Amino acid sequence: MIEASLLSQVKTLSVGDRIELLGVVWETLTPEDAPVTDEEKQLLHSRLADFQNNPNDQSPWREVQARMRRSLP
């Protein structure tokens, strides 16, 4: 658990500094710190198989972004 005093200090940082802090903390993590679960591996394998079996059913990222933006209020 994060100490209240540390959290209070973080809250006083500017948005830019908080984002930078996130990056610094992220860089301290290794793959071993958050291993991929069996369920996540299964999902990745399923999605890869779908892509390989149906390459024309995929959408370019720009199209996905456009659909998402159109669905926003």
DSSP string, 38-69: HHHHHHHHHHHHHHHH-GGG---HHHHHHHHH
Q: Which residue has the tokens 């993590």?
A: 29
Are 73 and 41 within one domain? yes
- In tens, the pLDDT along 46-63 reads 999 999 999 999 999 999
Are 50 and 73 within one domain? yes
Are 19 and 51 within one domain? no
pTM attached to this predicted model: 0.52
Are 30 and 45 within one domain? no
Q: What pLDDT is recorded for position 37?
A: 96
Q: Which domain holds residue 73?
A: 36-73
- In tens, the pLDDT along 14-42 reads 999 999 999 999 999 999 999 999 999 99
Q: What pLDDT is recorded for position 67?
A: 96
The count of domains in the chain is 2
- The Cβ of residue 37 has, within 10 Å, a number of other Cβ atoms equal to 9
Are 71 and 40 within one domain? yes
Are 26 and 14 within one domain? yes
Q: Which residues contact 21 (CB under 8 A, 6 or more apart)?
A: 10, 13
CA 36 to CA 56: how far, in whole Å?
A: 28
Are 42 and 19 within one domain? no
